[in-house]
């Protein structure tokens, strides 16, 4: 498929000791999982898979195109799925400026992705946003996410204090009907975009959550959606593959081989946020069985070859890998110089991209030798390829939910921590939780 290449050969025992057996009887279970997914989608239970086709997203695209290039700096307030998706998109498409300078390209705006309530980080972003031509984008599915609501209250006061046109500098992306953020948007006449019902935060990257920030930064959101359509058609054409193949292989590697630690090994600084987005998708969707749940890990090549590779190769055989890389790198040649020796001679005249690729090929080789199964994905740095990858990993995770026998759309254990947080902070109606926390603090 154009823009994205997937190689699954190293998941199988024919190439890697400890890989999946092609004739495993559980392959039939995988096919049933795909049929079930299709049935649920046809019933309307998985509306986020159909966002690329929806009139609602056509409207979002039309109503956000005028934002491109209009503001500097841009502040994105959100956490989890409400921020990881937009971050992943920006880091791939604006590399290396986003990674090194927090900028959307050489001449683009400075961008602050505030996905935590660390006071030092938030204060610095706040001070930087008092000058220039700022835009604040607040994203929360529920509208009551404690971190995002806290940040919004801080930035809202700053905007009101310093800008007479503050209403034009604040965008809200939230529930279409409920919550304090929706109420604020309606009361003040703010520009706002809905997160449709039935779209959990970690599956929302192809909704306004990912599309509007992209458009603000000058990325064509329609290309992200078209990439998802491309992958959807590919999966339908191949009766579920490649998502079905990778999902079932990962499940079998866990169930049959005890390989429950899944490492997304990202060869390139621009890909790290993609790995983090996938880690949340897997962890929050599938982490629901005390006896059997995968643990997602994000690693960076080549950096983590010097910190984790020893463990992967000589430690427990409890890991499966996804090796993620980019098609093409900027030219940067290693010059002839004053450093002598056969090592330096081997490097002279090479591109740094060749060195990065050599490291990746070598690491794949030793993973293969040591019985560490993996599959490889190589993508173009384009919105269309990103849309395809987001869709692929969403379908892969939904299929894994069926295989593990868990609901991949909820996160019941997380709600307990949220209630205790509100109790600690003194929210009305959470007095019982406050008493619990106070007892722990004594």
**Same structural domain, 184 and 235:** no
**Same structural domain, 116 and 17:** no
Model confidence pLDDT, tens digit, residues 229-249: 999 999 999 999 999 999 999
Q: Is the pLDDT of residue 25 over 90?
A: no
Rounded Cα distance between 325 and 277, Å, is: 15
Mean pLDDT of the chain: 96
Rounded Cα distance between 101 and 128, Å, is: 14
**Same structural domain, 78 and 182:** yes
Domain interval for residue 61: 47-219
CA dihedral 412, 413, 417, 423 (to 10 degrees): 50
Model confidence pLDDT, tens digit, residues 328-360: 899 999 999 889 999 999 999 999 999 999 999
pTM of the model: 0.96
Across the range 193-214, mean pLDDT stands at: 97
Of 177, 194, 219, the position where a domain reaches its end is 219
Of 219, 254, 288, the position where a domain reaches its end is 219
What phi and psi values does residue 193 have, to the nearest 5 degrees?
-135, 140
Model confidence pLDDT, tens digit, residues 49-67: 999 999 999 999 999 999 9
Going by the DSSP 8-state scheme, the letter that residue 72 receives in this structure is: B
Across the range 61-90, mean pLDDT stands at: 97
pLDDT on residue 415: 86
pLDDT on residue 441: 75
Q: Tell me the pairing of strands 4-7 and 374-379.
A: antiparallel
Catalytic residue among 147, 222, 284, 433: 284
Within a domain: 250:
yes
Within a domain: 87:
yes
pLDDT band per the 50, 70, 90 thresholds, residue 27: confident
Going by the DSSP 8-state scheme, the letter that residue 351 receives in this structure is: B
Within a domain: 416:
no
Rounded Cα distance between 150 and 280, Å, is: 22
**Same structural domain, 200 and 242:** no
Q: How many structural domains is the chain composed of? A: 2
Strand extents, DSSP E, 226-346: 261-267, 295-301, 319-326
Across the range 154-179, mean pLDDT stands at: 97
**Same structural domain, 215 and 230:** no
Catalytic residue among 306, 340, 343, 428: 306
pLDDT on residue 115: 96
Going by the DSSP 8-state scheme, the letter that residue 330 receives in this structure is: -
Across the range 215-241, mean pLDDT stands at: 97
pLDDT band per the 50, 70, 90 thresholds, residue 26: confident
**Same structural domain, 194 and 316:** no
Model confidence pLDDT, tens digit, residues 249-271: 999 999 999 999 999 999 999 99
Across the range 97-114, mean pLDDT stands at: 96
pLDDT band per the 50, 70, 90 thresholds, residue 179: very high
**Same structural domain, 71 and 155:** yes
Number of H helices, E strands in the chain: 17, 10
Residue 284 annotated among the catalytic residues of the structure? yes
CATH number assigned to the domain comprising residue 305: 3.40.50.10490
**Same structural domain, 204 and 316:** no
Catalytic residue among 29, 255, 329, 418: 418
**Same structural domain, 393 and 338:** yes
Of 189, 219, 249, the position where a domain reaches its end is 219
**Same structural domain, 185 and 98:** yes
pLDDT on residue 48: 98
Q: Is the pLDDT of residue 442 over 80?
A: no
């Amino acid at each position: 498929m154009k823009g994205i290449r997937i190689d699954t050969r190293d998941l199988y025992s024919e190439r890697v000791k400890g890989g999946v057996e092609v004739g495993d009887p559980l392959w039939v279970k995988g096919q049933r999982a795909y049929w079930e997914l299709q049935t649920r989608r046809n019933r309307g239970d998985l509306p986020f898979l159909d966002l690329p086709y929806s009139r609602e997203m056509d409207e979002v695209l039309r109503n956000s195109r005028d934002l491109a290039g209009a503001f500097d700096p841009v502040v994105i307030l959100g956490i989890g799925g409400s921020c990881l998706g937009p971050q992943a998109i920006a880091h791939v498409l604006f590399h290396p400026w986003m990674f090194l300078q927090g900028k959307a390209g050489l001449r683009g705006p400075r961008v602050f992705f505030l996905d935590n309530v660390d006071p030092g980080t938030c204060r610095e972003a706040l001070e930087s946003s008092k000058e220039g031509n700022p835009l604040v984008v607040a994203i929360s599915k529920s509208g009551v996410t404690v971190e995002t609501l806290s940040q919004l209250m801080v930035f809202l006061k700053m905007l009101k204090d310093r800008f007479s046109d503050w209403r034009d500098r604040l965008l809200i992306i939230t529930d279409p009907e409920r919550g304090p953020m929706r109420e604020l948007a309606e009361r003040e006449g703010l520009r706002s975009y809905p997160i449709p019902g039935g779209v959990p935060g970690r599956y929302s990257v192809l909704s306004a959550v990912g599309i509007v920030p992209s458009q603000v930064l000058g990325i064509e959101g329609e290309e992200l959606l078209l990439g998802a359509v491309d992958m959807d058609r590919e999966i339908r054409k191949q009766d579920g593959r490649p998502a079905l193949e990778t999902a079932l292989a990962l499940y079998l590697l866990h169930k049959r081989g005890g390989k429950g630690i899944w490492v997304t090994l990202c060869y390139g600084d621009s890909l790290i946020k993609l790995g983090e987005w996938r880690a949340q998708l897997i962890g929050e969707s599938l982490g629901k069985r005390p006896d059997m749940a995968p643990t997602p890990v994000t690693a960076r090549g080549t950096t983590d070859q010097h910190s984790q590779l020893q463990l992967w190769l000589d430690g427990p055989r409890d890991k499966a890998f996804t090796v993620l890389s980019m098609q093409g790198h900027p030219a940067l040649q290693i010059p002839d110089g004053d450093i002598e020796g056969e090592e330096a001679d081997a490097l002279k005249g090479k591109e740094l991209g060749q060195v990065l690729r050599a490291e990746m090929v070598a690491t794949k080789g030793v993973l293969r030798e040591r019985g560490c199964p993996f599959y490889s994905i190589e993508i173009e740095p384009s919105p269309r390829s990103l849309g395809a990858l987001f869709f692929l990993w969403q379908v892969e995770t939904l299929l894994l939910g069926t295989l593990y026998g868990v609901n991949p759309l909820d996160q019941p254990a997380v709600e307990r921590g949220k209630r205790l947080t509100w109790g600690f902070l003194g929210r009305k109606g959470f007095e019982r939780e406050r008493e619990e926390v106070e007892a722990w603090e004594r």
